[in-house]
Amino acid sequence: TQLLEQSPQFLSIQEGENLTVYCNSSSVFSSLQWYRQEPGEGPVLLVTVVTGGEVKKLKRLTFQFGDARKDSSLHITAAQPGDTGLYLCAGPGTASKLTFGTGTRLQVTL
Amino acid sequence: ETGVTQTPRHLVMGMTNKKSLKCEQHLGHNAMYWYKQSAKKPLELMFVYSLEERVENNSVPSRFSPECPNSSHLFLHLHTLQPEDSALYLCASSQGPGPSNEKLFFGSGTQLSVL
């Protein structure tokens, strides 16, 4: 079974701070996805990383895929209250499944 | 708006009730999914339908019964549920279930409470 562990589980920061959340596995993944789930909504895909060492930027969000394709990180610069939500990583599992991580719940306060 | 609509948004039911969750996608996708999201647990895949055929059933108890009458609609019929079944039930769709790194489009979910 491929497991994705995310850390930290919870993070509460003030507006303007920077943060990094992590997604780690002992298994190699061909790609990893990051989703954000806002309160009361379903997850929305932010990005897919497919190449070891790849870095992708989405405005203030920077995603990195580890060289060995076993881990990924998400860095947010100058966090805003709109960044509040549950951040999920996900990777291809068996057959048609996506394996989801345990999630990082981020709260950004004014 | 993700193009995937779920109703109802909230549902409270007793253990002897029968209810159904509904999902509709307006994206022309060929695959639809039911996921369960419980506190402190990763998203759990329950069922996958591709072109209206069930292709995945993850050892889900028989008190959950899916139905996919066409590629745009998906139902989850519930009967004699247990309190531990209380969770957020998410519907998703994708272009196809083949490659497992396909982009999933999720609905807003049904928050289910079983009393």
Q: What are the tens digits of pLDDT across the range B73-93?
A: 999 999 999 999 999 999 999
Q: Which percentage of chain A shows pLDDT scores above 70?
A: 96
Best of A98, A102, A104 to mutate (most B CBs within 10 Å, chain B)? A98
Q: If you search the block for the tokens 């549902």, which residue do you land on?
A: B11
Chain B contact for A67 (CB, 8 A cutoff): no
| Confidence band, pLDDT 50/70/90 cuts, at residue B97 | low
d(CA A56, CA A41) in angstroms, rounded, equals 25
d(CA A63, CA A74) in angstroms, rounded, equals 5
Q: If you search the block for the tokens 């193009």, which residue do you land on?
A: B3
C-beta atoms of A96 and B97 within 8 A? yes
Compute the count of residue pairs across chains A and B with CB atoms less than 8 Å apart.
Answer: 63
Mean pLDDT of A6-29: 96
